[in-house]
Amino acid sequence: MPNKNKSFNIQQRRYIGSKYKLMPWIKKLLLENTQGTSFFDVFAGTGSVTEEMLDSYDTFYINDFLYSNEIIFNAFFSNESYSESKLTKYKDEFNSIQKRQYDDSYFSDNFGNKYFSMHDAEVIGEIRERIHLSQDINKREKSILIASLIYSADSIANTVGHYDAYRKIKGIENKFNFRLIKTIDTEGKNIHIYRSDANELVSKISADIVFLDPPYNSRQYSRFYHILEDLAEWNKPELFGIALKPKPENMSDYSRTKAPEVFDDLVQNINAKYIAVTYNNTYEGAKSSSSRNKITHEQILESLNKVGKTQVFNKGYRFFNAGNTNLNNHSETLFITEV
């Protein structure tokens, strides 16, 4: 069981495609083959890439198209001050909740006895509503509380690591405990956080190193993490199907057949000295068509070589397995292009 008083670090999320374990290798190659003072993490995901590179550059641009990730970036990386004592007071209040007081039953009706126990779902919904109603917190403090709720809920959710389905078990245990995240010291750094379409944003920002870790396959992140998106937005949408998902929105073209063309457009509009791209080799080895990459390495190289000289580095890596995918000789590739 996790320590109930221990704060969450940024990498302590279950997230498909997280580069946390690969970052020592990626960082070494970036520092050896690029130069600059600014870093643009275009598809930032968990934020673990930015965290690892934080001591190497002065200015950071952090972007992702999920609402939950934007809030998490503001929680961990924002330069805005916050009160630790105020957050601790809220943590103690939240951990004393036994029943609903301000919230309706939306969260528990939909997700109780499915993704969470009924009691835990009621508590999670009540906490989110209290954060929504809070009048004495600034944007950073609100982001920290919501991010902490997301991490706390995700750590005990009745899933295999994403929210495409819940495990069919009876008598889900009450396990929820509200734990705060451990913020990251960004003093002296220029931090800029966005939730934008990557292809539109890159033409508006100039950075020395632009890092690309686009979605690889047809699995849409906004669908895989829909409950975390619900907690972030808190607009209580109508839900459909067994997995209880909202209507499709915030869908990525990088998970569709047009991905090669979209990637090529992205690369052509980047303002940088160096472009770094990380991608894996999930092609014919994947049993599931949804696991297969939408862009080939040849297409990536073709796009990158239009704008500069590219080096290619490979590393063996264990692939995330959500059920049907079984890969041998899986590897991660890092492309570094000097523009």
Same domain, yes or no, for 92 and 229?
yes
Residue 3 lies in a domain: no
CATH number at residue 306: 3.40.50.150
Tokens representing 281 are: 């080799």
Residue 49 lies in a domain: yes
Residue 166 lies in a domain: yes
Same domain, yes or no, for 294 and 321?
yes
Same domain, yes or no, for 205 and 123?
no
pLDDT value at position 53? 98
**Which of 251, 272, 298 delimits the end of a domain?**
251
Same domain, yes or no, for 174 and 234?
yes
pLDDT value at position 215? 83
Residue 4 lies in a domain: no
> Which has the closest alpha carbon to 228: 142, 164, 139, 322?
164
Same domain, yes or no, for 29 and 142?
no
Residue 55 lies in a domain: yes
Same domain, yes or no, for 137 and 155?
yes
pLDDT value at position 249? 82
Domain interval for residue 63: 9-79+186-218+256-339
Same domain, yes or no, for 100 and 141?
yes
List helix spans (H) across 191-288. 198-201, 221-224, 226-233, 259-268
CA dihedral 297, 300, 303, 305 (to 10 degrees): -70
User: How crowded is residue 183: how many other Cβ atoms within 10 Å of its Cβ?
Assistant: 19
DSSP 38: E
pLDDT value at position 14? 87
Same domain, yes or no, for 73 and 205?
yes
Same domain, yes or no, for 128 and 143?
yes
Residue 311 lies in a domain: yes
Report d(CA 3, CA 25) in Å as an integer: 30
Residue 2 lies in a domain: no
Mean pLDDT by 10 residues, the chain (339 residues): 79 88 96 98 96 98 97 98 98 97 97 97 98 98 98 95 90 97 97 97 98 82 92 96 89 87 96 95 51 79 97 75 47 94
pLDDT value at position 326? 44
**Which of 251, 273, 305 delimits the end of a domain?**
251
Same domain, yes or no, for 339 and 279?
yes
Residue 63 lies in a domain: yes
CB 165 within 8 A of CB 58: no
Residues pairing with 245 in the sheet: 240
**Crossing angle of the two packed helices 259-268 and 297-305, in degrees rounded to 10:** 20
DSSP 211: E
Same domain, yes or no, for 137 and 179?
yes
Same domain, yes or no, for 51 and 84?
no
Number of domains in the chain: 2
Report d(CA 64, CA 84) in Å as an integer: 27
